[in-house]
Structure 1
Amino acid sequence: MSRKDASFEDGRESALNLGALDVEDLKVVSALAQDAVFTGNDMTWQPRKRRFALLLNRMRWEDAGAARHGPERVQSVLNFDQVLAVASQGVSRGDADEVLSLLSVEFEAGSEGAGHVILTLAGDGAIRLSVEALEVTLKDVTRPYAAPSKKMPRHPD
């Protein structure tokens, strides 16, 4: 009998590909992206396409097998469409050495579906996207890998 290592497919856990068009959907995306890490090089703003995207290394909070194989991360793209402007505080764009940690993604409604998406970062950093409408996707783009810390992030109550 030959022995074969388990594969990603054996876990019956598929890669995420989620969309958010309203505040309730965005809460789910925010929870799944919490504690994702990225650098200034992992941010892309395409004004002509009205798109802002982050390449994240996110915790697999949805992973039901974490007790079996330990905490995992996966690279994901967090994409925002209908973006009119981007502003940031405490963020060095293009800095490959500074690791940023995403705490939450929230929407502040304006008029007629427009508003601001606020990405709150650890250490008092933030990114504010002025959007014509809320249109967000979170898509896993690699296979999961063992979290380098071998621990799940914890937040004090």
Structure 2
Amino acid sequence: MSAPLKLIALDADDLAVISTHVQDARVQACNIVWRQGEKRLVVGLNRLDWEQALSGGTCSRRLVAALRFDRVLACKSRNIDLDAPDTTLELLGIEFYATDPPGGSALLMFGHGAALRLDVECLECELTDLGPDNLGSAQG
């Protein structure tokens, strides 16, 4: 079993690394938490353990992880129904677009055209593994 990841992104290159690790992660709408007063967005997700898969593991394994963005000025969503908390979204990737450095927008892209756009003072993102997904770990 590989060690839990804890990655921090402070620029677009760092965020590309985090994006790779969360590719194909499953996110339930109820696990997207926008804390406007704290300028923070937290996304709970079940991500594939890409390190295990690429090292020749026999079955894919999912990990419960938290993705956090700080210094968020605004959070806008497209095609995400927050009134349907059990909706499962598939995270395809994350990109950063600088607008007024160090500020810009982080774009979380999901399947079926769903997206979150975060306008940030500066990029400050963290991905932390919380443990194995014991309910769905054998499912790819």
TM-score if structure 1 supplies the norm length? 0.82
Match status 1:52 vs 2:46:
no
C-alpha distance in structure 2 between counterparts of 1:33 and 1:68, whole Å: 18
Give a deviation string over 1:83-118, Cα, whole Å, max 9, x none: 000001000125232110000100010112111000
Change (3 A) 1:19 1:89: same
RMSD between superposed Cα atoms in Å: 1.7
Does the 8 Å contact 2:103/2:120 carry over to 1? yes
C-alpha distance in structure 2 between counterparts of 1:109 and 1:94, whole Å: 31
Q: Which runs of 5+ in 2 are unaligned?
A: none
Does the 8 Å contact 1:82/1:131 carry over to 2? yes
Amino acid at match of 2:66: V
Does the 8 Å contact 1:16/1:140 carry over to 2? yes
> 1:142 is paired with a residue of what secondary structure?
strand
TM superposition outliers: structure 1 runs of 4+ over 6 Å: none
> 2:82 is paired with a residue of what secondary structure?
coil
The percentage of aligned residue pairs carrying the same residue is 33
From 77, 83, 86, the equivalent of 1:97 is 86
Of residues 138-147 and 43-52 in structure 1, the stretch that sits farther from structure 2 once superposed is: 138-147
1:26-105 matches, within 5 Å, as: 26-63=15-52, 67-105=56-94
Report the count of equivalent residues: 139
Amino acid at match of 1:120: M
Amino acid at match of 2:43: L
Change (3 A) 1:85 1:68: closer
Q: Which runs of 5+ in 1 are unaligned?
A: 1-10, 152-157
Match status 1:107 vs 2:96:
yes
Which structure dedicates a bigger proportion of its chain to strand? 2
Give a deviation string over 1:122-143, Cα, whole Å, max 9, x none: 0011100000000000000123
Of residues 47-56 and 64-73 in structure 1, the stretch that sits farther from structure 2 once superposed is: 64-73
Does the 8 Å contact 1:75/1:142 carry over to 2? yes
Amino acid at match of 1:58: R
Match of 2:120 in 1: 131
From 115, 127, 137, the equivalent of 1:147 is 137
Q: Greater CA radius of gyration, 1 or 2? A: 1
Amino acid at match of 1:76: A
